[in-house]
Amino acid sequence: MKTLPSTDVLIIGGGWTGLLMAKELSARTPASIVILERGRDRRPDYIKGMDELDYFVRMHMMQDPTRETPTLRHRDGERALPIRQYGAFLPGSGIGGTGEHWGAVYPRLQPDCFELHSATVARYGERKLPEDSSMQDWGVTYDELESFYARSEREVGVSGKAGNLKGKIIEGGNVFEGWRSEEYPMPPTPTPYFSELFRGGAKNLGYHPFNNATAVTSQDYTNPEGVSRPACAFCGFCERTPCMIGAKAQPTSVLMPVLKNRKSVTLRTGATVRRIVHDTTEKGGKARGVTYIDESGEEIFQPADLIFLSTFTLGNNHLLFLSGIGAPFDPATDKGTLGKNLTHQVAFGVQAFLPKPLNRFMGGGGTGVRISDFDADVFDHSNLSFIRGGMIGAMSVGTQPLSTFGNVPNSLKLPRWGAAWKKAAIEWYDNTGVVSFAGEQIPYRGNRFDLDPTYKNPLGDPLLRMTINWQDNERKMVDFMNAKMVEIAHAMGAKEVNAFAPYGDYDVTRYQSTHIQGGTMMATSPDRGVVNTYGQHWDASNLFVLGASTFPNSGSSNPTPTILALTYRTADAIVEKYLKRPGMLA
Ligand SMILES: Cc1cc2nc3c(=O)[nH]c(=O)nc-3n(C[C@H](O)[C@H](O)[C@H](O)COP(=O)(O)OP(=O)(O)OC[C@H]3O[C@@H](n4cnc5c(N)ncnc54)[C@H](O)[C@@H]3O)c2cc1C
């Protein structure tokens, strides 16, 4: 195996988190930095036009599931099967990672999400904890993260309206959000008709609608690094595609323009990392470098002093399992931590059939109106049979004919084929909107990652296995929210509403969200988590894990603001503490 000269810093994965860490460290230290990304390179102008077939149907931005994919089962004792078709989640590959085709919705987590266990017990007592749940506090609080959230909003360029400015509640913003030290860098994106109908309906029912925060520009914007992006044109091609004009924040339009001028940074694409090589000594563990396969198929050893693992939740878990770093979690004994607390955000929608055309082909990522009245613990759960909640909203991100055609009111009792269905689907195409829900999944002992005993990837390595299912808490939450959403849709003037079917088992064929968390969760002690609150591995002090795999639980909010806030916090700790005195950060 070829061995390359050592580098000071090695970053595995070139998505939001990996590139942000490279940008921060290259600005503030003289360290040599190598980024290894398995996918291809992408320059900011790589996107030439929109093609629904290519991006939405064939999904050419996504990880190739014929080569790398997890297996999935609902419970212990079942044989897991590889997910060979795109379904419940859509991880990316190539420079920019999943952040190239993301939706850009940019909400912070509710403050009590970081203290899920203690906040729930304090308000309702131990008896309210769902059976077999494994909730625990993060060890870092919202207050500690606030300034990092604000920093990310300035850099990424977020449009929105504050609802809680230093404790002052502001109508029109999200009045239930955690306190913010500053207003959003840009005003909210304009409100499309469908979302405006939602605002009216929700208000009439006594709720508190607000324009969603989004990393899409509502006006021309230049961030503190001097990177400029134009105002969004609301072309309707946003989530699942990269942006043609750079209005949606993507790693290639926000971070790469800065990184490309940094001489200390080397970007190697087509480099698939296979193992993190590490030693365990009496003084503790240390990562020595990684082995990777380059584009020609050659296996290479890249030594490094400091390593960041930023390969999304699936990759982070997979590489730690394959490398044998950390003790796998065993639900039978409650021992070990690696793989524990896998969660997937609860996401579904009800279809509202409205009397007027909605012009839904126009829109932009994250554009729309939501309510947080049923989020987190904002509402009293004392007399409810579930805990926690989520946000209900009417987003206008743009719809495409091939991928969204075909919804008709259930009362027509039509099969999804034939002349009558086609006629009705055309008639209703632009009169159908989705009232959507994004909520929390409680972590359970049974839901976890490990290595699949049967299936392997083309390199001969075992696939990552997901054991995941919904439990009663999610099922009851969905029933409750479904009823609220149908009520709101009627208040919007819907002629008819198709409610969502009750939640059964976790459905891997329906896209839900690419908000998968956990497996390498943070904790304040090694017996409770894989990493500390800086993402530093408890068993290897020079190995840091970045991304949502470090979340002990899912929030209702989309994860990227929180993973970027945590990345800044880690970067500060590296520069201000670790590089001066390497070792475990206090
Ligand atoms: C359709 C869609 C919509 C979304 N919408 C939103 C939203 O509205 N708001 C929000 O907050 N979040 C959203 N997300 C989630 C968001 O995209 C992710 O949270 C974010 O991109 C994660 O960043 P990351 O750096 O952790 O991982 P990624 O961006 O996935 O980057 C990881 C990188 O690591 C590389 N890699 C993996 N394994 C290896 C290996 N072995 N060797 C080398 N490289 C490797 C991958 O190729 C990838 O480039 C969405 C995701 C999708 C797919």
pLDDT tens for residues 423-469?
A: 999 999 999 999 999 999 999 999 999 999 999 999 999 999 999 99
* Torsion angle in degrees (nearest 10) through CA of 236, 241, 246, 248: 70
With H, G, I as helix, E, B as strand and everything else as coil, classify residue 422.
helix
Mean per-residue pLDDT of the chain: 96
Q: In 488-527, at which residue ranges do the beta strands (DSSP E only) sit?
A: 496-498, 516-519
With CA atoms as reference, report the closest residue to 189 among 401, 398, 376. 398
Quick one: pLDDT at residue 44?
66
Query: pLDDT, tens digit, for every residue of 83-121?
Result: 999 899 999 999 999 999 999 999 999 999 999 999 999
Q: Is the pLDDT of residue 45 over 80?
A: no
**Distance from residue 98's CA to the centre of ligand 1 (Å):** 3
Q: Which atom of ligand 1 is nearest to the CA of 274?
A: 41
- Alpha-helical (H) ranges within 29-112 are 52
306 strand-pairing partners = 9
CA–CA gap between residue 232 and residue 398 (Å, rounded): 13
Query: Are β-strands 284-293 and 272-281 bridged in parallel, bridged antiparallel, or unpaired?
Result: antiparallel
Instruction: Place 49 in a pLDDT band, splitting at 50, 70 and 90.
Output: confident
Query: pLDDT, tens digit, for every residue of 138-161?
Result: 999 999 999 999 999 999 999 999
Tokens of residue 237, six digits: 């091609």
Instruction: Place 283 in a pLDDT band, splitting at 50, 70 and 90.
Output: low
CA–CA gap between residue 153 and residue 561 (Å, rounded): 8
Q: Is 15 in the pocket of ligand 1 (CB under 6 A)?
A: yes
Active site residue 515: yes
Written in H, E and C, the secondary structure of 132-186 is CECCCCCCCCHHHHHHHHHHHHHHHCCECCCCEECCEECECECCCCCCECCCCCE
Residue nearest to atom 49 of ligand 1 (CA): 97
Residue nearest to atom 50 of ligand 1 (CA): 102
Tokens of residue 113, six digits: 């999400």
CA–CA gap between residue 199 and residue 192 (Å, rounded): 11
Residue 443 backbone phi and psi in degrees, to 5? -75, 140
Task: Please classify residue 4 by burial: count the beta carbons closer than 10 Å to its beta carbon, then call 0-12 exposed, 13-18 middle and 19+ buried.
Answer: middle
Query: Are β-strands 346-353 and 33-37 bridged in parallel, bridged antiparallel, or unpaired?
Result: unpaired
Q: Which of 117, 318, 515, 537 is catalytic?
A: 515
Q: Is the pLDDT of residue 566 over 70?
A: yes
Q: Is 210 in the pocket of ligand 1 (CB under 6 A)?
A: no
Residue nearest to atom 41 of ligand 1 (CA): 273
Q: Is 199 in the pocket of ligand 1 (CB under 6 A)?
A: no
Q: Which atom of ligand 1 is nearest to the CA of 20?
A: 25
**Distance from residue 196's CA to the centre of ligand 1 (Å):** 31
Tokens of residue 547, six digits: 């991304």
Q: Is the pLDDT of residue 280 over 80?
A: no
Tokens of residue 179, six digits: 């306190």
Q: Is the pLDDT of residue 403 over 90?
A: no
Tokens of residue 57, six digits: 């149907």
Could you give all domains of the chain from N- to C-terminal order, each with its CATH number?
A: 2-578 (3.50.50.60)
Amino acid type, 204 = N
CA–CA gap between residue 359 and residue 363 (Å, rounded): 9
Q: Which atom of ligand 1 is nearest to the CA of 15?
A: 31
The whole-number average pLDDT for the span 32-58 is 88
- Alpha-helical (H) ranges within 38-85 are 52
Instruction: Place 43 in a pLDDT band, splitting at 50, 70 and 90.
Output: confident
Q: Is the pLDDT of residue 543 over 70?
A: yes
CA–CA gap between residue 497 and residue 495 (Å, rounded): 7
Query: pLDDT, tens digit, for every residue of 513-542?
Result: 999 999 999 999 999 999 999 999 999 999
Which residues, 6 or more positions from 228, have their beta carbon under 8 angstroms from its beta carbon?
220, 221, 222
Residue nearest to atom 48 of ligand 1 (CA): 97
Residue nearest to atom 3 of ligand 1 (CA): 102
The whole-number average pLDDT for the span 329-336 is 95
The whole-number average pLDDT for the span 476-503 is 97
